[in-house]
Amino acid sequence: MKNTILIVDDIHPIFMEKVEAFGYLCDYRPLIKPNEALQILGDYDGLVMRSKFKLNREYIDAGKNLRFVCRAGAGMDNIDEAYAAEKGIVLINAPEGNMDAVGEHAVGLLLALMNNFNIADAQIRDGSWQREANRGYELKGKTIGIIGYGFMGRSFARKLSGFEVNVIAYDKYKTGFSDQYAREVSMEEIVKHSDVLSLHIPLTPETNGLVNEEYLFHFKKPLFLINTSRGKAVQIRSVLNAITRGKILGAGLDVLETEKFPSLAEQEWFDDLKHSGKVILTPHVAGWTFDSYRKISEVMAEKLRLVHGS
């Protein structure tokens, strides 16, 4: 079987339509179980996945004929990239497909936090009308610190461009990236000037647990924290402690150290998180909109076309 692709997660049908037009045969199995995929992976030239399983050495070895893997999203932390490269497997992701969704979601979380939308809504539904208690902050004139200036960080900065804010960005792996949306700075300047801290970083050994007690201690001003990147980059207990101290004014978290139930409910910090009026939670959906669902598949198909033609 030549040019066959195993698709193990739900993706928009536009992907199949486009890649079949230039010669691929798609086997669409979004309900397949990980162990079932492991057994048949060796029969395919390509794999399309989201987060069904970690593409570790076992899966890569099983996919003895794999030439490419498409990740329907931005992050590649569930793929052993080094081992895939060693095996000559081309890796394709699609951050261009969901960067607008992430940027807009981050802005939404920030505006909701700064204006107490969640608290005010709950109070009114409970028969309480509290104007003074829900006085908010304006974005205008604030300094927004962005960690990570890839597709997601730049999208967030671009979405903020109409708010008359000062956007500064730090990226350990890039230099010379200042543009009309953000100014490149050092981490020291992020820590000194930020009124808002927004994370747009992959999960790596360096970013795992980045936001902890020590890191937050160094910030000079009380701040709002937004995380739409990876949950393990932020230690939730440290955030809750910083909220108690007034160091964090509010946190908008689309991702958490532990996600999904029942595991989430078993975390020692979950009850405190759940009852904190200073936190807004969303279930890892920042990059997952009706629009990005299609755009991710279009981006993957176009990148695969370029690989196919090379």
Active-site positions read: 230, 259, 284
Q: Residue 189 has which token pair?
A: 């300047």
Backbone angles phi, psi at 81, to 5 degrees: -65, -40
**What are residue 7's DSSP bridge partners?**
28, 48
**CA dist 259 to 10, 113, 169, 256, 263, Å?**
20, 21, 28, 6, 7
Residue 117: left if φ>0, alpha if ψ -120 to 50, beta else—which one? alpha
**What are residue 169's DSSP bridge partners?**
146, 184
User: Which residues are CB-contacts of 84 (< 8 A; sequence separation ≥ 6)?
Assistant: 55, 60, 69, 91
Q: Residue 255 has which token pair?
A: 């991702």
* Ranges assigned E (strand) in 4-64: 4-7, 25-28, 46-49
Angle of the 95-114 helix axis to the 151-159 helix axis, nearest 10: 50
* Ranges assigned E (strand) in 134-204: 143-147, 166-170, 183-184, 196-199
Per 3-state DSSP, the chain is made up of helix, strand and coil in percentages (nearest 5) of 40, 15, 40
Burial class (CB in 10 A: 0-12, 13-18, 19+), 238: buried
